[in-house]
Chains A and B, each alone.
Chain A
Amino acid sequence: MTTTQPGTQHQLVVEMRDITKKFPGVIANEDVTLEVRRGEIHALLGENGAGKSTLMSVLCGLYQPDGGSLHLALHQDELHQIVLRSPRHAIHAGIGMVYQHFKLIPTFSVAENVLLGAEDTPTVLDLKQAGARIKEIGERFGLPVNPEAKVWQLSVGEQQRVEILKQLYRGASLLILDEPTAVLTPQESDALGETMHSLAASGVSIVFISHKLDEVIAYADRVTVLRDGKTAATVDVVDVTKADLARLMVGRDVLFSVEKADADLGADALVLDHVTALGDRSVTAVNDISLTVRGGEILGIAGVAGNGQKELVEVMTGLRTPTAGSITVRGNDLTGKSAIDFIRGGVAHVPADRLGQGLAGNLPLTDNVILKSFRSEPISRRSFLNKKAIHELSTRLIAAFNVLPGNPDAPASGLSGGNQQKLILAREIDATDRLAVGDEPAVLVAVYPTRGLDVGAIEIVRDALLNQRAIGAAVVMVSEDLDELRTLSDRIAVLHGGEVMGIVDPKTTSKDDLGLLMAGERLS
C-alpha cells in the first residue's frame, strides 16, 4: 500500500509544528501538528470548520500563523524552518495547491493557465515550447491534456488534471488537493486515485483534504484527523477502520445508516411531461425530461454538477419557463406560470445558493422567515405587517429548527452555513405545512441541502426531509453525494447532459452503476 522510494522511507518533507491561527472570535487552528513524508499520500480529515482549510492556507502562504513553526525539506534533504510570506513564496518553496474550486481562467488555454503560475515564464511567451513541455510532463505522470484547448471546453476531471499539471510544471514536489473528489464522478475519483499513486511513486508528496471516510481509506497511506481546530491523531490507514476514523473526526460514535420507514405513496404531486428548457446561454439544458413525483416519496436527482440540475429545479419551481412540455402540480397545469403560482400551487424550494437565492443576508431572521408567508394572515393584514405575529412565528421556527445564534433581529448573513440552511428549511417546511391540505401533498424541492454542512446539521436536515416524506409530502432532492442519495431516496433519477439517463432503485443499484449513468452511459 505504502509507496515510498528505497532509502527515503519516513523522510519528512513537511513538518508543521504547533500551528495556531486565530480569526476574530474563532481559533481556527490550535497547536496543530502535521508531518508529511516524501512520496506519501497523506489525508487531512475533519469536519467542516475543523480547521483543515485554514491549516492548508497557512501551508500555501495565504495566511500567516499566529503561533508555531513550519519546516520544509522539498528542495533540500534536511528539514529547515521557513516563514512563507506569500503564495508566491510557497510556490517557490515547492508547494502546489489544487483548490476545490479550480483556480483556472476559463477563457485562457491550458498552456496559458499553466504559464500563469510558472516561475520561469519568459517575458515574451513561447506557447509552442510550453505546450511541448506540458505534454511531456503529462505523459511522464499519466495526465494527458491538450495544451491548446480552452479550459471552459474541458470536463471537470480534465480541468483538475490541468490544475495538477500546473503545479508539477512549476516544480511542485508537495501537492495539496482540497477535497479533490467533491466534483468528480466515482469513476473519475478512481482515476484520480491512480494518478495520486503514480505521482507518489515518483516521489511527489500529496496532502489531500477530505471529510469522506471511504476515500481516505481507499487512497491514503496515512491520515491526520483534525477536530475543533486541534490534531486528534495521525495514524497509518492500514491500522484503522472507518468507524475508528469517524470517532476521531466527530468525537463520538457515528451511525452510518438512517432509519427510514417504507414509502407510503400518495397521489401524483409533481408531474413533468416531456419538458425541455434552455439554459442561460440559450443552449438546451433540460432535454425532454418526464418525471412523476408522488406524495410520501423522496426522488433523488443525481448527476455531476452542471448537467441540467439547476435548470431542472428552476423549471420545477417556476423560475424558468420550459420551451416544450408541461408541468402539473397537484393536478393543476402550471406550465408557463410564474414562481408565485408555483408557490401558491404547493411547491416549496430550498435553493442551492443559500445567501444568493435562499436568504436576504442583510435582513434580520424575522424578515427572512416571512419571505414567503408575508402575503397571508396573520403575518400581514391589508398590506400592513403584523409585528407580533412575525415575532411569534420566527421565535417558534428558530426554536423548532435549533437555529443558532437564535436572535431573531440579527442579520441572516451572520449565521453559519448550517444555520442558514436550517432557517431556510424552517421557512420552506412551514410553507409546505400551510400548503398541504387534506390528501393533496405539498412538493418540496431541496437542492444540495447538506452541501458544506457539518455532521450535526446534516442530521437535522436529513431528519427534516424524511419527516416531510413521512407526512406525505413529495420531496425532490438534488445532491452530489451518492451515499446521501442512496440512503435517503426512494428512487434516483440520474441526469447527464440535461437528460434523464435512468430512474433507478437505490436498493438494487450499485454506486458504480450510478457513476456510469452520471458519466452518460445507459445501463443495459
Chain B
Amino acid sequence: MMDTVNTMAPWREAFDAFAANDEAAAMGSKSRAEAFARFEAHGLPTKRHEYWKYTPVRGLEPSGAVATREGGDPFADVEAYRLVFVDGRIDMSRSDHAALSAAVEVAGPEGAPWMEGVFGTLQNRDIPGAMFQVERPFADLNMAMFTDGLAVRIPAGTALSKPIHLRYEGSVAAHLRLEMLIEAGASVTVLESGAGALTTGAEIVVEDGASLDHLRAQTEVGERQFTALYATVGADASLKSFTLCADAALIRNETVVVMAGDNGSGHVAAGVMGMDDTLVDNTVYVSHEAEHCESRQVIKSVLDGNAKSVFQGKIFVKQGAQKTDGYQISQAVLLSERAEFNAKPELEIYADDVICSHGSTTGALDEEAKFYLRSRGCTEAEAEALLVAAFIDEAILEIADEGLQGRMRETTSAWMNARAGR
C-alpha cells in the first residue's frame, strides 16, 4: 500500500533521530529497534486492521502537539507518592521520588536486574494456544520511543500505604513507561492522570497473593492518548483496573491480563463519557491460563452529540483452565441520536468446565424513570444526571477504595453538569 510508506517516513525519521540523539535511547536499544520495526511494518492503524475497524487513526504525526482540557486532575489532592512527568521527563522538583525510593525499590524504566523478568517479556509474549497474536502498534511505538518512566519493585509482603500517582503534563507527544513487579503478598494502588503522554506502556507482574488497584483518569486528554497495559496475575492474586475517559479526540486503551496462577481475580472496568466528535476505545484481552480464576470486564459509556465509544473484549480460556469464571458486560446510554457504541465481544474457550458470559446493551435513558423523577420536581437535566450517575456507578463500584470511588463520581457529575450548562 503506497500511502503506508509515505505515512511511516516521518516516524522513521523521528525514531532515527531519537535513537541517535536522546540519551534515553541507550536503554534497551535492541528491543527499541525491534519494537519500532514492528510498528513500522504495521503502519498507522486503518479500518482494514481487524482490531482498529471502529477506531482508525488519521493524521497522527510524531511531533503532534498534546492538548490538555480543562477540568483538573481528579487525583490532585489524593495523598500519594506523586511522580510528575513534564514533556516526557520526570520533574524531580515536583515528584516524591525520594520518599517512594525509601519505601520501595525504584529504578529507571529498565536496567535494574530484577526487571529482566518484566521488561519486554509481557508485551512480547506469545499467548500460548491463542489463535493469533494481536498486533499492538502503539505498545510497540511506546517501547521504541519512551523517554522516561518508572520501574518499581514492591517487596514481598509490603502493603504500600499511599498510592503511586503518575501525572503526565506538558505539550509534546511524549511516550512514558511503567514497569512494575509486585512481589508475593504485596499490594499497591497506582493512579494515572493527565494529557501529557501520547502513549503509555506498562508491564506489571502481580505475583502470588499480591494485589494491584489501578485507576486511570483520562478526563483531561484534549487530543489523543494510546495506552497499553500488560499484566500477569499470579495465584490468589488480584488486579483491579478502572479507567474514566471523557471527551478526547481519540483514546485507545489496550489492556491485556493473563490469569497465570490458580484462584486469581482480574477485573477491568471503564466509564466513558463522550460529547461532540469524540472517540474512546477500550480493548481488553483476558487470558485464562490457570484454574479457578475469575475475571470481569465492565464497560459503561454515556454518549452525547457525535460521540463514539468502542469496546472490544475478549475472554480467552486456555485448555486446562478449568473452573474459570469469566464475565463481560458492556452497556451504553445514548443521549443523542447521532451517538454510537460499537461492541465486539469475543469468547474463545478450550476448557470444558467453565462459566463464561457476556452481555451488551445500547439504548436511551429509561423514559419511565425520567418522568418519575421529573414528576417529583427534578429538572430534565437533573433527572438525566441522576440516571447517568446510577448507570456509570456499576463500573465505578469496581474500584476498591471508597474515597477514590467518590472522586470518580464527582468527576462524572461535573461532566453531566457541564453538559447541562451547554
Same complex: no
Point out residues on A near B: beta carbons under 8 Å. none
Point out residues on B near A: beta carbons under 8 Å. none
